[in-house]
Amino acid sequence: MTVYWVVWDAAAHWVVDRLEREGALPAVSRLRRQGMFAAARPARPNCQTPPSLATLFTGSWPRDHGVTGFTVPGGRGGEPWSEVSGFSPEFPAVRPVWDALARRGLRGAFVHTPWVFDGSGATGPYVDGAVTAYGDRLVRHAVLAVRPGEGRTRRWELGPYVLQVLDPEPGGPVTVRTPDGTAVALVPDGGWRPVRLAGGAEAPGTWLACVQGADGPLVVHTGVWRPRFAGGDEPVVEALRSASAWPFAGEGVGPLYRSGVFGPRLAEGGDGRAEDVFLGSVECVARSFGAAADAVLATHKAHLVVVYLPMTDDVGHELLGWCDRDSAAHRPDVADAAWERITRVYRWADEILARALDRAGPDDTVVLAADHGMVGSTHLVHLNEPLIRAGLASRAPAGEVEPRDSAVYYHPANNGSLWAGPASTAPGADLGRAMRVLAQLTDPDSGAPVVSGFLDGDGVPLLDGSTGGSGPVYVALADDYQPTAAAGADGPVVRRTPKSGAHVVNTGSSRLHAVFAALGPGIAPACGPPVVDNTRPARLVAGQLGLTLPETAGTADGSHAPHVHPGPVSPHTSHAPHVSDVSAKEPVLGASTASPLTLPPTDLVARRAAHVSGFLADRGLAPQWLSGLMAERVGDGLLLLTSSPVHGLANATSDLDFIRIQEEPISGPRISTKIFEGGHHLEVVSFSRDELQANLHHLAALAGCEPAGTVAGFRRWDKEREPRRKQTERIVNGITLNGEAPFLDWLPALSTVWSRAALHSALEQVVHLSLAEAAGERRGRVGYAFNALLHLMDALLSHHGDVYTTRKWYLLRWTRTVRTAGWRDARTEAVASEVERLRKQIGGMLPASTDERAMAPEYLSLAEEAVRVTETAARITVRCVPVDGVATHAFLPGASVLLAAGGGLVQPSEGEPSGQLAHPVPLSGLAELGADRAAWLLRSLRAGAYRLEIGYVEEETV
């Protein structure tokens, strides 16, 4: 088996999704149609290419792998203000997935993949073949003006190599002589020519073109790099050397294009010729990378093949912002012309992906991934300049910041981070002052703030002026603004930038999400476009190859930080890393340990259609007659029969509940239409296709959240969305009258969301059970136990795809599944058996109100095991905190009163009893509460004066 891992740099999910839907990417369409397709959140807090690739390849976050930008502050052992390349061989601290190949006796082949070669240019023993050139650039791209008719020979130095360029005759070609005397004739606007700069397969080369510049003909060359080849499979290595007949072109000539060398750009009134010169250089990149990929695909015997392609990043930086409708960079007047050129570049990448798909056999896996996405950009913000003007930072003679003399400085690495410098005597206070200075920055044209917030080293928003200690602090700029560490004394702090697309600090924008798609054994077609973390591709690759990824370090308290912060940062965003009050906070789009990546069983549609057919036959109803009746009464549309008939639970008195999907928009709350016909009671409620699609995409997004965020979105759903929760569940499970289930592909996402919501309710009931038992409530604890068991049943059933919102059917569904032993694995079956044992036992607990047997320990243990077997989290924490505005006041002797805006509560103590739940404790820690403290908390929770927070802690080994 081979895993083919194709990486498109900066391939934003929103871009690939649109292009695929337009039919422009047939290889991606194969993956989407036959495999899975998702959006992946990139590295945080910085999502430049090195940290994002390190996250993609290691399955870990920057806090673990240590790559925090294109250059990393301090490196290993350097001064804090120094910097080292994020692609340095000393990184990443967590090794890429392919380092585990040798332990399994597996082999790998790599096309321009970072962190394969070490500092000495050697590779690991598992490498069959590898090529790279990015680590040894000799010179960047450049242009040389020629003068037709002057007859001069111009010397052109390309690093250590010298070309001779002869002025052309008017209208004639330009002749370029290489160091070995080879003459190359370049016809104006005649395309790009590959040129060797020295003999030997490993010698550098370049691509040359003659183009018409603003002031006359120009000769242009791409950058020059020295390639390296290595590996233990000589045919693969030789094939890679032969492929270097197409010289390595690591990037297009974007900066030259951006500077206007080739004439005005589209956005400046150009006719597209400048863009075509730039795209010609990007095609050189595509040809050189494609040749290397073809060499490996044709000759390898490796188990893992990794192909990196940079073209999509090149074109994104230059053109994508003009097509980004959510950005001020959007240019409707040139967007179509820019999109056509973007499409062209993505097609080149898609053709290489297609060749990997064609090479793959039925037992192989093909993965398409990207390191990050791309957002529109309009301005650069010179972050050191306001710090210098405020006296916090010092200026060096050349105009840039001088960290050695600064109290706070924006790091020269330009990775988004603010640092306390040697001149600071109070780092936390100085960072806070710097944050306040930067928060006042505005766009000189619009007056809008350009800083949206600040993040800590895990990408979590810092609130209420907090600096999170002594730093560093990351600056999250508003949409369309990008940071720069360049000197800024010669102009405004905020100034326009010609680069239309960018990705630096991960602000949480979904436009920064990368594409992720896969096809292979065990990967069923996806249920929709879920959102996952970009650690997921490495886990998938490792899983397909049977590899174990290294463990990553947690936070100081032994837990793990959240994987991303909750969307765009604002001063009002709240976030709790490990414990979430699901009744108040926004969904946190973090790690999903149970992402909906597989379809429901193939026979489920047939079984449900049989349920519906039998139900209608028992009632003497013909599907054609029902369809005609409903069309007559409520109009045309997609008609779904829902509820108990679908699940095989209906009886002779069950109603016929329908949901109708129409093309036309609908606004306002929905009222069901009741129809009485022939002794039958029919109800139908209608929704538009657009609002349904929005709901289903929201459902998939919630399934991709961390568990607390999923629950928060679930509980807020009915206040914000149509269709409501119940109706959304009915639609996903619904069956048409001709036996089809058009929305059943969304069942895995529905299962994840509904299971987490039920599990959260069960945990709440178990906490109340434990408090009631500790407080001496013998009967009250039994009531909580009943509820806990019901919600645990629903959680396990939903986790297994049996989702049905109506509570009265929980027990019947449960006994049916228990009877058929329909559990997917032994661990889940063991949890189900324990639920069933407690269910049969609980009836005997209530009459014995004085029974001293403890119930809480069994229920606490069962709930935590249910969390683990459903892959929701590794462990649970709880805490109780007062709601906003609650205060405790002295009252009568031996009593106090809790007062809040909504009322008050008398407590039989003069203050809070000893024993703490103000900070997160493990779920099992509830057993340590004393009776007074438990009773005090239970009364406060029942009265709504305190709230219960349940935290989901993920302890992965990735």
833 within some domain: no
Counting the structural domains of the chain, the total is 5
- Clarify whether residues 642 and 728 are in a common domain: yes
Confidence of residue 729 (pLDDT cuts 50, 70, 90): very high
- Clarify whether residues 520 and 565 are in a common domain: yes
CB atoms within 10 A of CB 605: 16
309 within some domain: yes
886 within some domain: yes
Pairing of strands 451-455, 921-922: unpaired
CB atoms within 10 A of CB 522: 11
CB atoms within 10 A of CB 200: 9
483, 502, 521 — which closes off a domain? Answer: 502
- Clarify whether residues 618 and 715 are in a common domain: yes
Pairing of strands 514-519, 365-369: antiparallel
Tell me the pLDDT tens digit for each residue of 468-526: 778 899 999 998 999 999 998 888 999 999 999 999 989 888 899 999 999 998 786 65
552, 569, 586 — which closes off a domain? Answer: 569
119 within some domain: no
- Clarify whether residues 525 and 621 are in a common domain: no
3-state secondary structure 308-323: EECHHHHHHHHHHHHH
- Clarify whether residues 441 and 470 are in a common domain: yes
Structure tokens at 503: 């990705």
Task: Give burial (CB, 10 Å; 0-12/13-18/19+) of 6.
Answer: buried
List the domain range (segments joined by +) for residue 626. 604-698+706-743
SS3 169: coil
- Clarify whether residues 519 and 485 are in a common domain: no
446, 479, 502 — which closes off a domain? Answer: 502
- Clarify whether residues 2 and 52 are in a common domain: yes
Strand partners, 641: 658, 735
Q: Which of 49, 208, 195, 72 has its CA nearest to residue 134?
A: 49
Residues 749/530, Cβ–Cβ less than 8 Å: yes
Confidence of residue 529 (pLDDT cuts 50, 70, 90): very low
- Clarify whether residues 367 and 513 are in a common domain: yes
- Clarify whether residues 164 and 312 are in a common domain: no
491 within some domain: yes
Confidence of residue 19 (pLDDT cuts 50, 70, 90): very high
H/E segment holding residue 145: strand 142-145
Alpha helices by DSSP H, listed for 883-953, are 931-943
Tell me the pLDDT tens digit for each residue of 318-344: 999 999 999 999 999 999 999 999 999
More confident of the two residues 636 and 602: 636
942 within some domain: yes
- Clarify whether residues 402 and 423 are in a common domain: yes
Confidence of residue 573 (pLDDT cuts 50, 70, 90): very low
Taking residues 752-772, report their average pLDDT. Answer: 95
- pLDDT for 891 equals 79
CA–CA gap between residue 339 and residue 334 (Å, rounded): 9
CATH number at residue 644: 3.30.460
Does pLDDT of 541 surpass 80?
Answer: yes
Alpha helices by DSSP H, listed for 47-178, are 49-58, 62-65
- Clarify whether residues 417 and 517 are in a common domain: no
Tell me the pLDDT tens digit for each residue of 159-217: 999 999 999 998 889 999 999 899 999 998 899 999 999 887 788 999 999 998 878 89
405 within some domain: yes
- pLDDT for 910 equals 62
834 within some domain: no
Confidence of residue 553 (pLDDT cuts 50, 70, 90): very low
CA–CA gap between residue 345 and residue 328 (Å, rounded): 24
Tell me the pLDDT tens digit for each residue of 385-399: 999 999 999 999 999
Specify the amino acid at residue 380. L
- Clarify whether residues 414 and 495 are in a common domain: yes
Confidence of residue 911 (pLDDT cuts 50, 70, 90): low
State CA 508 to chain mean position distance: 9
Ranges 150-164, 240-254, 558-572, 681-695: which has the least confidence: 558-572
